[in-house]
Structure 1
């Protein structure tokens, strides 16, 4: 795919990410000369009409959402059975990466991010688009702190004629209860998911976790989250109230709009109280919560009896589902057979050979699957299915998950990248950032990576700490002022700063011999070390030898003196008529005398007759 050109203009540069439906590449738009991101659908989906329709709908829905907090869609198309979308290229991190690296985030920062997402969602909802998959991985934070919502691949335009129920679940840890149940969704679905994101940002953990997606989805429907202040006591009570309101199970009890939620977030940011209406208080009652007021017992816990009544029909339905699923599972394993039943041994922590021998003794078959694990030593059993202690029919299959040990991944080459791009690349690849130091470098631009440890293209464990050295650019020094200093003193000073000195000598009427007359570059200029500073050193005043001017014409004498840098002081021994030629009869100083350049030489001028007399 690298080097391929789409639509005659988008040249693929490198792969930068992978999603459930598509890979993401950076590319060069050769027409507008800019870097873009290109999302390319996985080939296995290109033949499925539903996935193709979803891919097209993403482009059509998102292309119309021009908002500063939404990733821009520039173009989309199909080429050689490959479907692609051209998007805004962003440097930075997704919020999930920031949470994993820094959680819990400061309250102000978390509110600012959530408020920007509210702005994006309000704009999308006004344009009849529901995102349906708001999660921390889909929120990009640029180096300037701007939040941008990405991946409207699960979005559905309300007027597009596509179903709103049952078709897409989203991500289990962030789905709303109505999504988990496959019933009609609306704007409140995105608000619930944003509540999960805000909870995660401020606590570093998700409100609901489970062994699998179904278990998590059931918790979204049935369980109340642990109040976030229990996990982080720095969260203001008013902010906790906003989160819990966004996480209400019934969509009716959540914020009516993303705009309303954003307004309450702004109130918390400004230290103002928020007004929270909740089913936990009497109908029509609104509780005003100051920034640091503890949430009332009535607000914090719903009536247990009312809760049980509210979810009794759904709980019964879930119980039936579990019973049916369990029954089918046990029938498939032959658990209701009365003949040749054996107890499954405990295989966890055993080697594959030990597990195989134990199963063979029981007359059971083994199926192996290997996965990477940072917790279980390579070659040992991580888990088994069925679990130990369960009775199954002799000859049945027991599946074991065996550890491949810690996953080793290739360290990306980030040398030459900008500091922020390098950090994003390493975090995206699964590494952690260690010490970042700065160093002078004449070849690597300031802000770019000079070196990395471990080195690029070596194998390292996921989560390995990578140390970076960032270039400060050329080592610069400020040129000192050496004018008027003794030349030797000036030379010593410049060389101590790592500069090379070049001397030029010149006469000077004002600067003493041996002192600096001028310098290049000027004082205060910043130059690289090893740069040359040229100093002009005074030779003192210049002296010239007075020539013999006697018997020269007046004009000749003046010209001779001027050529030597001397001036003529003329005295006439007699009046000289027009047309007569004056000659030098005498001079002072005498010939061969040394005098300063610019001095006057006095000459006595007379006629030819007078010259003969002399």
Structure 2
């Protein structure tokens, strides 16, 4: 049976294929019980035939169906039909994040943070249910028309990885797996956070951090190599976002963000323009020969903060230090490789040079800030009024200056929304603390809802975007032309805040029902065949070929709308023959009798002269209509003529 006519589980009518993946094909389908459009993912035969996969698939699909989040694609149902396993999911309009990055290239840093925050929202719900996704990648993230995202395939990756094949499926998608997943170790929440870091890296730069000729080589790079800092691939990536991404991608899970909620708070702060306190990522360099053998040493956060990639060096830094750091990163150097022989003296010189630069910088900072140089704790003045903040800082021995005020939805106008250096950290007494004051929430702007009824979905989105509104599309069957909007959630001309989500409903066209063949069925059989979605009326007629009580004909046939009335004609059997009185025309002329008898419905045969006198008549009286009557005649005589 063609896919377009196939019904899974006696309920889900497959319409058309909308996508293919490494383990399944996805179809748009109609849930015939709840009368709604759904997406049905049908597992490929090599998975369906594996007993281990089947058992884990059942367990994981049930768990995924229990996850409820605005950022998770809803799983409605799952089952097995014959040899086919399938999952029924929420049907969405949109595109996957991988396709979006391919089309548009690197995304705006704030958009990267927004996407990352929403993925964290999905992961937070799953992790609290003790479900690790295991396959976070852009292909599993759907971008909706309103710009929000939904994460797909929760729990399915674990079932997939139970099916070990020779094509490295056990590795998952190598470009996004964590080092511990590559090693086959137990996975926790931090494994998904590593994969999310890779996704944000790709969104921010337009490319994955590690690539290779095959899955094995890419996976080994995940374990052994440090990523090139995103800002060296795309200079538009600022240091704060870079630190967030690289902290997610730390090789040691203990050095990453430990929970999705923790990462989400940092991303939300970054997206809102607030300062984020994320340490510089760990940098591992090989020890020079003769200095501690072949062990590795980790440069401290403070040291690393002084050695930034080329082009970002601050005042007072030398060119040599940054160039060295950039060069090592750009080569993709294996952080665990031992240095080549003969390079020990060079590396030692570089390390000593870096120490001299750091010492000089500290000395310069001490003299620049003035004062005694004694380190004191900076008061935390976030949410203080301007006057309260100045009093607290000046009493602690600090000077105060102000940066540009910013809008903030959470901090009241005139209060401190950010400070540098941060509160509760040490700084030289007499140094300057820079404060940022809140201008309060961004002023609310209002706009009118446009008329999008009758428009296509693309036209509706364009009109809503022009009005600074967001659209949320739903699909339903309707009398309106397929693909056009037939209803909108807010009335045309209604005044709403800019950014408001306007729901609208797009027609998939009217649903139709195929009228079954009723010819020859009894009345009871015809009623049963029509079911409860079609109406019917009955009439009757004679038929010489259809038995009495059976259907002669019906209309309309073919595909009709639900509720259509089918007009059915039942047979009364053959039409009964009528009795007619045939007069006796003996002694009358045949030319007179023949037309009289024929007008009464009889067939007349004249045996003799056509204008002769009738001497005998084969039948008369009450006869069946259509009976043949023979008239025997003889020629007229003179006596007959006189009569």
Query: If the length of structure 2 is used for normalisation, what is the TM-score?
Result: 0.45
Query: If the length of structure 1 is used for normalisation, what is the TM-score?
Result: 0.47
